[in-house]
Chains A and B, each alone.
Chain A
Amino acid sequence: MAQVISSSAHDDMIHDAVLDYYGRRLATCSSDKTIKIFDIEPSSTSTSQQQAQQQQQPDQHRLTATLTGHEGAVWCVAWSHPKFGTILASSSYDGRILIWREQNAQWQRIYEFTLHTASVNLVAWSPAEVGCHLAAASSDGNVSVLTFENNTFSHAIFPAHGLGVNSVSWAPSMGPGQLTSAQAPGKGSEVQRRFVTGGSDNLVKIWSYSGTTQTYDNVATLQGHGDWVRDVAWSPTPLSKQYIASASQDHTVRIWTLPAGEDVGNASAWKSEELQFEVVVWRVSWSMAGNVLAVAGGDNMVSLWKEKLRGGWECVKTLEE
C-alpha cells in the first residue's frame, strides 16, 4: 500500500514531515537546521470515476523551497489553515519558534518567538474556527500560545509541566458535549479554545482559554502514566464523544474518553483505557474523521486502533517499516 520515499534531500535526520491542508505539499524538517517544502504532484489530477478506479501511480515530490534560519535541529513544522494564508510554523532545539509565510512564491520569515529558554518540542495550530493561534510545547516547562490577529502576533507564555512539555494538541473548536447536552452552561456556539498537553512529569493536562482573564487555565489534570508522556492527541471529530490519546514512555497508550455532556474540566469524568505495547510509544495521531487512532512505537510499527461498537478498542491493523 505504501510508497517508499528514499531520498530526503536533507543532510541529516528528518524529525517531522507534515502534509498541508490539501495534502498537496509536504514540509519536512531536519537536524541539518533546515526546512524543506515539497510539492506533491499526483500522477492523475482528475477526480472522475474512471480515474478513481485506476491503479494509483506514485506521486512525484518536487523540492520547491529550503528555509534556513534555525540554529539548531528543527523538531517540528506545522501548516496553518489555508484561510490565514500559506503559513508554516517551525520549532527548534535552539528554543525559537519561527513563522514563515509564502507570498508570490517567496517564503519569508514573518515572526520569531524567542522567549523559550530551551528546546521547543512541538508546535500546533488551533482549529481555524477559533482563530489563528499557535501552541508550543517546550522543554523549559512552559507552553506558549502565539496569536496572529490583524497582521500582528501577540503571545501568552505560562508554565505547564515542570520537567518539560513534550506535546500539545488542540481540541476541536466545537465540543460534542454542547451538541447533545442542553445543560451545558453558557452560549452554545461559543468557540472554545482548549488544548491538551503532555509532559515529562507523567501528566496530561487540559487547558482552557478564559475570555474574562485572558489566560489559559489548567482545567483538568489526568493522571495515570508511569513515565514521560511523549505525545498527546485530541480527536478532531466534533461529531461524538471526546477522545484524547496519550502515548508514554511507559509502553502504553491511554485513550481518555469523555462521555457526551460531561464537563471537560471534570477530571474524574474522563475515563481512560490503556493499550499495552512492548516498546516505548512515540506518537499518536487521529485520522481526520477522528475514528482511527494511529500509534507509532519504537519498533517502527504503526498500529491502527478503532473503537468497538460495544466499547473497548481493538487493533485493526499494523504497518511495519
Chain B
Amino acid sequence: MSSERSRRSSAVHSPSATVPSAPPLPAALPAPRPLQRARDAAYRFIGYPPSRPSSAQNHGEDRPWLSGRLTTLGATENATASHKTGLEINTIAVNGSGTHVLLGGKEIFKTVKIENGVCIEEINLRTAIRSTPTSASGRPRQTYSIDIADVAWAKGNSSHFVAAATSSGKIILYDLGHAGIQAAQLHEHFRQVHKVTFNPHSGNLLLSGSQDGTVRLWDIRDARDQASTLRSKRKYSGQSDGVRDVKWSPTDGVDFAFGTDSGWVQCWDMRNLNAPKVKIPAHALSCNIVDWHPDGKHLASAGSDKTVRVWDVSGHRRGKASWEIKTPYPVLNARWRPSCESSMPADNGARQCTQLVTGYDREHPVLHLWDLRRPALPFREMVPYPSAPTDLTWHSRDLLWTVGREGVFLQADIQHASKVIDKRNLQTFDVSSSGEVNFVVQKLGQQRRSQNLPSKRNTTTFLPGTNNSQSTTDAATGASIDSVAPRSSALTHVSRSWQDDSLDHSFLSIRPARQSKRSNSGVKAPSSSHNPAVLVLDHILRNRMSFSPQQLAVRGILPYHVDPKVFRFLASNYARIPHLAAGADEVQAGSLIRGLQRNHDVAETAGLYQLAQTWKIVGFTAHNFIKAGAGSISAVASDAGALVGGDVGRRGVEQGGDDGPFALGRLLPELLRYYTGRGDAQTATQMMLLLVPLLPCSRPLPDDVAEHNVLAYQDALSLAGCLPQEIAAIVDQHIAHLVQKGLNPLQVESILSTYHEQLLQNRLFAEAASIRKLAFPAFPAVYEDYMTDNHVHLQCSKCGKPVERGAEKHRCEGGDTGMEACPYCWEASSPFGMGRLMATCLLCNHSMHAGCSKEWFGSGGGDGCAVEGCLCRCVEQV
C-alpha cells in the first residue's frame, strides 16, 4: 500500500509523466524576491515557517493535531471559545497547522488566531483589499464587493496562500504576506463556485467545484509568474448539474470526489480526464456535501433527502450504500470526526473513526454528532446559534469550529455537548392489570476499565509517529498547543471511563455525573509510531458488532397489589347476587345472610383474615338487623366491634352507636368509602350487592344531590337510546331506591364498572358478564360497550359473510359488514378453546364463540343470552 501511495504521490509531483498535456510544474521555489521579505514578516507574525516540508508522505495525517485532545486542555475543562464579528460569516477554513482560521462572508474576510481558547484577529484581508488601490498585476483595482461562498487555505509550501470562491464564478487567490493584493484571479467558471479545496498532500493543488457543472484543477504555484493569466490545469466535467461539494481523498493524492445537484456522487482520478472512477446515484435530492472517511476507502455523502450515506468507493461494492443514517432534516453539512485511538486491544493502538457531525438547513440550528455504530439516533447534539451554522470544520478530535449568520466564530468542545441519550428515559416499567410489573433497566455495569490507560503507554509525543513528525514539532506551528504531554500527568491519569470510542459507556452512561471523572488532560496520546493507520471503516463496524445492550428486564408481581390469584379465587367463589334489588323478603334475606357467611368463609380460605372478620361483622349485624326487624342493633354492633379490633369494623360500629336503627345504613357507606379509598372495587361491590337489599329506605340523599343524579341518568339513558317512559321506569326501579338508601348511584356505577373492568382484565368473563347483567339497564357505563355492534350474528352459509340481523334466510344479502366480536370475551379467538368457531342462538340471532358459550352456559353462570338486554333464554336450564 505504501509503495502504491508513493507512486501516487510521485505522480502528483510529476503529472506530466502521465498526462503529457500539462505544463511542467516548477521544481523549486523561485529565488527570493523583494516581496519575500514582507512575506516572511507575515510568517513570523502568523507563526509558521516559510519552508515547511511537503507533507506528501504524511500518510494522510495532514493535520497532525487532529489526533487527540489538546494537551493544554484540561480534560474536564470546557474548551469553548468564541469570536464575535457581528458580520454574517459564510464559510471557514483552517490552516495547515490548525492555529489559524480564515473567515469568509459577504462583508468579512479575515484570519483569526486561536490559542488556548483566546481568539485574536490577525489579518483583516477585506480592509487590506479596500485600502490597496492596485491589484497584483499593477492595474487599478476594480471596486466590487466580494461575496465569498467558500474559502480554502493552501497547505505545505504554499500555505501562505488562501483562496476565496465567489458567487460570480471567480476564485481569488490572496497571499497573506500581501494581504491587500490579489495574488491571482482564477476566472474560468461562469457560474457560482461553491467549493474550493487544496490537496492535503500537495498543498498547491486547488480544486474548485461550480454550479456550471465542472470541477477545475489549479496549481497556485503558477500564481507567482502568471498572476493575471493563471489557467486551470484540468477540467473535469461530464455532468450537466452543478457541483455542490468537492473533496480530495485523504489518503490518495490524486483522487477526489464531488457531489452534484441531482444527487450524484463521483470519484475521479485527477490524471484521468475522461471518466470518473466511480459514479453513484447517491441521493434522491441534491447531494450537498461529501466527506472522505480518514481510511480513504469510504466516502460519506449527505443531501437534502435527509440521509447520510457512506459508500465504499474502493470499487468493490457498487450500487448500495454501506451504511445509512436517516437525519431529521435536510443535511447541508457533514464532517467525519477526526479519528481517535481504538480502545480495542486487538487493534494495537490503531486509529478509528465512526462518528460524523451533521448540520442542517437554516431553520434547524441543531448539530448532531452521529456514530455509525448506533445510527438510529445521534450520539451528541448542540445548538451553537439561533440559526443553523453556515459552515463547520473539526479542529481536532474534540474541538468543532463553527461559523454562522450571527457573525460568531465558535470553538465548541464536543465533549461538553449533551448526549442525546441522556435526554431519554433509560428505564421503563409497566404495571399490568393483574399487578404484574415488567421493567427494563440499564445494567449498572461493572465500570469497564479503559484498555488504553495512558499511564501504561509511553506518552511521549502528541504527534502521530510519522516520518516527519519531528520536523513538524520543530516547526513553530502552535508549539504551545502541540506540546508534549507531560510525563508526570501521564502517571496521574485515571481511566477515562467515558471516552467516546468505548461505545457502551458513552452511549449508555446513565449518570451524567460520570463526566466529572474524565481524567485530567485526557490526551488520547497515540502510541508512538507503532500503528498509526486508520482502521478501515468496515473493519470497525462489521467485525465489532459485538456490542450488546447492557440491559436487564425483570418481571414479577408488584407487591401490595391485589394478588391476581386471590382476586380470581374471590371473584369466582363469592356469593353470586342476581340483581341489585330494591328490597328483600324473608327468603331473599336469608340467602343474603348466607351470602355474607359464604363470603366470610371464602375470605378466610384465601387467608384474608381481616377481610373475613369484616364479613363476619357485617353478616352478624345484618343478621341481627333482620331478626330485630327494624329493632335496635346498635348494642349488638358495639359488641361485635369490641370483639375484633378490625379497623373497618370499628369504623362502622362507631357510626352505628348513636343512631340505632340505621346502623346498617351508616355502616355500608363507611365501608364503601374505606374500600374505594383502597381501590378495592371487589369488596366494595360485594358489600353493596349483599347489603343494599337489606337497607331501609330511610336515609335519602339530600334533595339536590338526588336531583342531580336523576338528571344525570336521564341524560345518560337517553343518550343510550332509551325512550322517555323507559327512562322513567328505569329510574324508578333501579335508581330511586339507591337514592332513598343514601347511596350515590354514580358511585355505585363507578364501583361496578371498575370491578367489571378488573374482572375482564383477569379474564373472568363469566363473572364480568354477571356484573353486566346486574348493571343492566340502570348503569350504562358498565355494559354499554358490550351492547354496541352486537346485532350481526349469523354467518352466511354460502359465503361465510355475516347475515344482517333478522334475515330469514341464512344467506347474506351482500352486506360487507365485518364479523362482530364475541360479546363474551371480545377477542378474535376464544380464550376457552375451539378457536374462532362461533355459535349462534337461532332464537335471538346473537352469537358468541363456541368456546365462550360453553364456558358461559357450562359453568352455570349464565342463564340466558350473554348479550346484555337480550332476554332470550338460548339454553334451557336443565
Contacts and interface: CB of A to CB of B under 8 A. Distances in A.
B377 A93 contact: yes
B434 A73 contact: no
A15 B561 CA distance: 25
Interface stretch (B91-99, B111-119, B548-556, B590-598): B548-556
A83 B756 CA distance: 14
B430 A17 contact: yes
A47 B572 contact: yes
Contacts of B554: 2-5, 319, 321
Contacts of A187: 711-712, 715-716
B377 A288 contact: no
A47 B551 contact: no
A19 B568 contact: no
Contact of B553 (A4, A31, A285): A4
A292 B560 CA distance: 7
B781 A174 contact: yes
Contacts of A245: none
Interface stretch (B20-28, B332-340, B675-683): B675-683
Contact of B560 (A238, A283, A304): A304
Interface string A50-81: 01100000010000000000011101000000
B326 interface: yes
Interface string A294-311: 101010101010100000
Contact of B559 (A1, A31, A47, A128): A1
Interface stretch (A20-28, A141-149, A202-210, A268-276): A20-28
Interface residues of A, number: 82
Nearest to A290: B679
B449 interface: no
A288 B758 contact: yes
Given A282-B425, A285-B431, A129 B781 contact: yes
B551 A31 contact: no
B549 A8 contact: yes
Nearest to B706: A182
Contacts of A15: 424-425, 428
A316 interface: yes
A266 interface: no
A12 B555 CA distance: 20
Given A291-B679, A298-B511, A23 B433 contact: yes
Nearest to A117: B328
Interface string B797-835: 000000000000000000000000100001110000000
Contact of A239 (B605, B677, B828): B677
Nearest to B675: A239
A285 B432 CA distance: 11
A150 to B, nearest CB: 12
A6 interface: yes
B541 interface: no
A216 interface: no
B750 A239 contact: yes
A199 to B, nearest CB: 12
A179 to B, nearest CB: 5
A291 to B, nearest CB: 4
A95 B679 contact: no
Interface stretch (B44-52, B63-71, B435-443): B435-443
A49 B569 contact: yes
Contact of A291 (B572, B678, B713): B678
Contact of A283 (B376, B428, B712, B758): B428
Contacts of A300: 427, 441-442, 444
B547 to A, nearest CB: 8
Contacts of B712: 187-189
B434 A83 contact: no
Contacts of A189: 712-713, 715-716, 746, 780-781
A225 interface: no
A37 to B, nearest CB: 14
Given A14-B440, A31-B376, A82-B827, A23 B434 contact: yes
A179 B744 contact: yes
Contact of A94 (B328, B431, B510, B568): B328
A13 B377 contact: no
B456 interface: no
A128 B753 CA distance: 12
B785 interface: yes
Interface in B687-728: 702, 704-705, 708-709, 711-713, 715-716
B746 A178 contact: yes
Contacts of B684: 239
Nearest to B779: A189
A52 B568 contact: yes
Interface in A248-298: 279, 282-283, 285-292, 294, 296, 298
B588 interface: no
A321 B754 CA distance: 33
B429 interface: yes
Nearest to B426: A282
B761 interface: yes
B47 to A, nearest CB: 43
B751 interface: yes
**Chain A CB within 10 Å, residue with most, of B376, B508, B712:** B376
B763 A22 contact: yes
Nearest to B562: A289
B558 interface: yes
A19 B557 CA distance: 13
Contacts of A73: 376-377
B439 A239 contact: no
A294 B558 contact: yes
B427 A296 contact: yes
Contact of A16 (B374, B428, B510, B746): B428
Contacts of A110: none
Given A59-B555, A239-B679, A296 B826 contact: no
B566 interface: yes
Interface string B47-59: 0000000000000
B768 to A, nearest CB: 12
Given A174-B750, A182-B705, A292-B560, A285 B429 contact: yes
Contact of A19 (B430, B565, B828): B430
Contacts of B508: 13
Contacts of B764: 47
Nearest to B511: A298
A39 interface: no
Nearest to B512: A280
Contacts of B467: none
A296 B559 contact: no
B498 to A, nearest CB: 16
Given A47-B565, A288-B431, A33 B746 contact: no
A93 B428 contact: no
A174 B431 CA distance: 21
Interface string A181-213: 010000111000000000000000000000000
Contacts of A117: 328
Contacts of B713: 188-189
Contacts of A218: none
21 contacts: A1-B556, A4-B554, A6-B553, A13-B551, A14-B428, A22-B761, A31-B549, A94-B326, A117-B328, A118-B328, A128-B785, A179-B744, A179-B747, A182-B708, A189-B715, A240-B676, A287-B431, A291-B679, A294-B437, A316-B560, A321-B554
Given A72-B377, A287-B560, 18 more contacts: A1-B556, A16-B428, A17-B430, A19-B438, A31-B374, A31-B549, A33-B376, A72-B328, A93-B376, A178-B746, A239-B679, A283-B425, A283-B428, A285-B431, A289-B561, A291-B678, A300-B444, A316-B559
The 7 tightest CB contacts between A and B, nearest first, are A188-B712, A289-B679, A2-B556, A239-B676, A52-B565, A23-B432, A182-B705
Interface of B: 326, 328, 374, 376-377, 424-444, 507-508, 510-511, 547, 549, 551-562, 565-566, 568-569, 572-573, 605, 676-681, 684, 702, 704-705, 708-709, 711-713, 715-716, 744, 746-747, 750-751, 753-754, 758, 761, 763-764, 780-781, 785, 821, 826-828
